[in-house]
Structure 1
C-alpha cells in the first residue's frame, strides 16, 4: 500500500492512448501538429495570451523559467523550504549561471509579502550585494498549502513595486486548482511564468512552462536548446499535455488524488501538522509508530524526526486510504 509519492503513480490510460495516436511521422521538435496546438490551448485555459514550452522535468521547467528573469549576478527570493532550494541539487545556480537564491520565511512554506519585504530590506549595499530580480512561489507549497487570490495579489504588488519577475512552481498546480475550486487563472494569479506540472498527475514525462511574457518565451527557447531539453520528437510530449487538458482530465485526476488524501487526513486527526488541502498529509509520528505502519504494509517517506509525509495520487485505491486512516487512528 503505497503512499510514497505521486511520482510513483501510473500513467493515465488516456495519456498512453494519445501517445500511441501520435506515433506517426510528423515534423520534428516543436513544429508538429500537436505542438502547434499548445499555445492556443493554454491561452484558452488561462484566458490570456500565453506561450507554452515543454520539457521533461519539473526541475528544468523551474530553472528555465527563472533563467529568463534573472542575471548571473542576481537573485531569486524563495521560501527557505522551497523545492528549488531543498530538492534540486543546485540546479537553479547551474541554469542561472551562478545566480543566488535569497531565502525568506513563512508558515507552511508559503511566502508572504511581509516575508519578501524583509529579504528586500536587507539588500542595501549596492553593487556589493546580490540584487533580487525575481520571486518564486510554489502552488501548492511544499507542505501542501494553497495560496488564495488575495495572497497572490499581495505578492504580485510587491513584485511590481520592486520590478521583480514572478514565477510559480506548479508541480502540484492541478491539486491546488482543484482545492481552490476556481479557474486555472485564479489559481495562478498574475504570474509571469508558471511551471505547470503533469507528471505527478497522470502524465508520463512532460511538464509545461507557461509564459505570459512572449519575449521571455523566445529567450527560453534558446536556453532550452542549450540545456539539452529540446526533444526532437516533441509530439509525444505535446500529446500527453493535450490529453490531460482535454475535458479537464488534469482537474479530474487532481480531485481524485485530493479526495484520497482527505480520507487519510480524517484518520490522522490532531496528528496533522498542516491542514490537508491537496494530496499530501504531514502526520506526527514517532519511530515506533512508523515501524508499526510499515509492518502493516504501508510505504511512505519520513519527512523529518517529527513527522512523515503521506501522498496520494489520481489512481490511489480508496480502500487502501481507508486502511491507512484506520491504522493511524489506532496508533
Structure 2
C-alpha cells in the first residue's frame, strides 16, 4: 500500500513538473513573438524614416541644382499638387513594372495603404496597415487559384476519343438528314440537338437566314455546272463533226493527219477551259491561271512539232513503198505481155 502511494505521488509530481515547464515555454514563446513584433515595428519605422530623410535630401539636392546659375541650365519650375501626384504615380508604376507576381501585389498594396493614411513610420497604424496588406494578398492568392488552368496538349487516348465522338456525331447527322443535304437542314438538326442553347432566338433566326442564303448560292452553282456540262457536250459534238469534215475530199491519209492535229488541239483547249472554270470559281488565282495557260501553249507547240516530225519520218517510207509497187506492177505487166505474145505466136 505504501509503495502504491509513493508511485502515485511521484506520478503527480512528474505531471506538475511537465505542466510548469509547458507554461514556462508558452510564456517564453509569447515573449519572443512580442519582441519580434516590436523589432519589426521599429525596423519598419526606421526604414520609413530613412526613406523620408533620403527623399528630403534628394529634394534638397534637386532644389539646389534648380537654383544653380548655369548658362546651360534652365531653373526648374515649382510643381503644383496635380503635377506632383502625376510624377509620384509614374514612379510607383515604374517600381511596379520591375516586379512580378506576389511581390508586385505586395508593393501595390503598400502604396494603397500609404494613400489611405496608414503610414508605415507611425506605430499606431502598423497593425491596421499589416492587416490591410495581408487581406489584399490573401484575396490575390485566392483569385490566382480560381483562375482556369491552361490545358496542356491532349494525350493520344483523348485524341482518339475526340475523333470517335466527332465521327459518331457526323454519322448521326447523316442518318437524321437522310437525303436533305442542305445547310438549312443541318442548322435545324443542330438546333434540335441542343447545340445552340447558349444563343438567343434572334441569333438562331440569323443562322437560319444565312443557311438559306448558302443553300441558294450552292443551288446556283449547281445550275451553272449543269449548264456548263451541257455546253461542253454540244461543243464536243460539234468538234467531232468538224473533225470528220476536215480534209474531206483530200484523201484518207490527209484527213487522218488533220483529225489527229485537231484532236491534239482540242485536248489542250479542254485544259484551258478547265483552268478558266477554276479561276472563275476562285480555286486558283490570276497568276496561276496565266502560268497554266503559258504551260499549255508551250507543251501544245511541242506536241505538234513531235507530230510533224513523225509525219516527216513516214514520208520517205511511203515514197519508197510507192516506187516498189510501181516497179512490181511494171514487171508484172511486162511478163504478162510476153506471155500473151508467146501465145499468139504459138
| TM, length-normalised to structure 1 | 0.16
| TM, length-normalised to structure 2 | 0.15
Greater relative CO, 1 or 2 (CA 8 Å, sep 6+): 1
- Larger strand share, 1 or 2: 1
- Larger helix share, 1 or 2: 2
